[in-house]
Amino acid sequence: MKRSIWNLLFLISSFSLGAMLGVAMVQELFPEWAGVQTAYYRRLAQATGDRSKAGTPVKVLQIQLPDMKQVDRCVTCHVGISNPKMADQPQPFKTHPDLGIPNFLAKHSFDEMGCTVCHHGQGRATTKAAAHGPVHHWEEPLLPKDLTIGTCSTCHGNVMKLPGAERLAKAQQMFEEKGCIGCHQLNGQGMLIGPELSETARKTTDQFDFRYVQGHHTWVDWIDEHFKDPQKITPADPVIGIPESSMPNYDMTDEESRMLTALVLSFGSAVESEHRPIPARFKVPAPPKEPEPVYASSIERGRAVYQKAGCVGCHGFEGRGGVRNNNMDLGEEVPPLTYVSKGFTREELKETIREGKYPARADRSGPTPPLWMPSWKQKLTDEEIDAVVDYLTSLEPAS
């Protein structure tokens, strides 16, 4: 009896061990990518008419980029990215498109730059799921196609001037028009009422709250959905005592929120990363700063400063106000500035701009209003403040 149990155990475990080692062997001999590569060479033989190509032995193909600390194995499946004969094939066999940009392929050598520098994704992975993501513990999943534009700034200082960057440039224009910089700092410019923007794309998934996000739990979907409805993604949390997001809801279209997401990514890509150092030879310098235009009057200059500094972000286009400020007196809104010259002297206005001001609460026992007037004396010169006051005075309708 006793012996037979041991015999049985011996039989079962040795057979199952053999079977499992067989499974491991099969997994090793027929990996996912091998099937893709075989199919690629078969298609290549068809496309070129060269039968001998069909039997090309398969192997892991990789682009080694030691100075960028990357190894991109994407080409193991996407073998034909630089083969023009494969232009009409489906993914993953297809040639990399030239995006309608002259000289695009000639200037971006995949052998020198790899793939993940533009597309993100896990370059070292050799399975589709792990390479494209989203996978747990990989912070840079493959970017959706329409957001890849956001990584051009990794090398291009002149990204807004690039052909093909029209949509991104539009987002940049919106960014300036809406005066985002009034609350969000970027590269030392602007105020820190909201989060800094060049860091946002570098945040890890742990740092986002995905409870109200419908899409994937990636920062792309978080930012995108937050643009569309900030209060839905970051509502008030009475348990911890955090008020809802004070970011205005701009009723963005899908296209707008998407391109602004690409813009935020673009801000992040422009920052040097120690995990992906970019060799100097790839860098395209930013165009020289345009000289300050000569303004016809102090009012014109004031209007430009009002726009550039981001006052418009809270006080509205031409000072018409409209941004909600929870629990602030004056109707829970950032005050409009149209009649400001009636209520304050010139000196008082300049003093307020210089030193800033904390709004009074509508309900004394309620929470602090999330928006406040920051102090601008570090950011604006006295002449600029003078010009802004001139501009504000000019806003009062002539009656």
Partner 1 sequence: MSKLQVKMTDIARAIRTSPIWRSIFRHGYQDTPRNRALMILSNVFLHILPVKVRPSAIRYRYTWRLGEMSFFLFWLLTLTGVLLMFYYRPTVENAYWDMKDLRFVVAFGPFLRNIHRWSAHVMVLLVMFHMASVFYRSAYKPPREYNWVVGVILLLITFLLSFTGYLLPWDQLAIWAVTVGTNMAAATPFLGSEGPFSIVTPENDMRFLLLGSKLVGQSGLLRFYVLHCVLLPLAFVVLVSVHLWRVRKDDFSAIPVPPEEERKKGVLPETWLKQNPAELDKKVFTWPNLVSRQFVSALVATAILTAWSLIGHAPLEELANPNMTPNPSKAPWYFVGLQELLVYFDPWMAGVVLPTLILVGLIAIPYLDKNPLGIGYYNFKNRKFAVTMFTYGLVLWFGLIFVGYYMRGPGWELYMPWEKWDLHRPPSSTAGLHNMPNGLGTVFLLGYGAAVMLLPKKLFKKFSEGLGPVGYWVVMFFVMTMLFVPVKILLRNAFAIKYIISIPAFNFNI
Query: Which spans of this chain sit near partner 1 (rule: CB under 8 A)?
Result: 6, 9-10, 12-14, 16-17, 20-21, 23-24, 28, 60, 69, 71, 73, 122, 124-127, 130, 137-139, 204, 206, 209, 211, 237, 239-240, 275
Taking the complex as a whole, how short is the minimal distance between the CB of residue 69 and partner 1, in angstroms? 8
Taking the complex as a whole, how short is the minimal distance between the CB of residue 17 and partner 1, in angstroms? 4
Taking the complex as a whole, how short is the minimal distance between the CB of residue 57 and partner 1, in angstroms? 16
Quick one: 39 or 236, whose CB is closer to partner 1? 236
Taking the complex as a whole, how short is the minimal distance between the CB of residue 122 and partner 1, in angstroms? 8
Taking the complex as a whole, how short is the minimal distance between the CB of residue 6 and partner 1, in angstroms? 5
Determine phi and psi for 70, rounding to 5 degrees: -125, 150
Quick one: 122 or 326, whose CB is closer to partner 1? 122
Quick one: 51 or 275, whose CB is closer to partner 1? 275
Taking the complex as a whole, how short is the minimal distance between the CB of residue 23 and partner 1, in angstroms? 6
3-state secondary structure the chain: CHHHHHHHHHHHHHHHHHHHHHHHHHHHHCCHHHHHHHHHHHHHHHHHCCHHHHHCCCCCCCEEEHHHCEEECHHHCCCCCCCHHHCCCCCCCCCCCCCCCCCHHHHCCHHHHCCHHHHCCCCCCCCHHHHHCCCCCCCCCCCCHHHHHHHHHHCECCHHHCCCCHHHHHHHHHHHHCCHHHCCCECCECCCCCCCCCCHHHCCHHHCCCCCCCCCCCHHHHHHHHHHCHHHHCCCECCCCECCCCCCCCCCCHHHHHHHHHHHHHHHHCCCCCCCCCCHHHCECCCCCCCCCCCCCHHHHHHHHHHHCCCHHHHCHHHCCCCECCCEHHHHECCCCCCHHHHCCHHHHHHHHHHCECCCECCCCCCCCCCCECCCCCCCCHHHHHHHHHHHHHHCCCC
Quick one: 9 or 330, whose CB is closer to partner 1? 9
Quick one: 135 or 284, whose CB is closer to partner 1? 135
Quick one: 125 or 213, whose CB is closer to partner 1? 125
CA dihedral of 371, 256, 186, 165, whole degrees rounded to 10:
-170
Quick one: 122 or 266, whose CB is closer to partner 1? 122
Quick one: 203 or 324, whose CB is closer to partner 1? 203
Taking the complex as a whole, how short is the minimal distance between the CB of residue 395 and partner 1, in angstroms? 43
Taking the complex as a whole, how short is the minimal distance between the CB of residue 137 and partner 1, in angstroms? 5
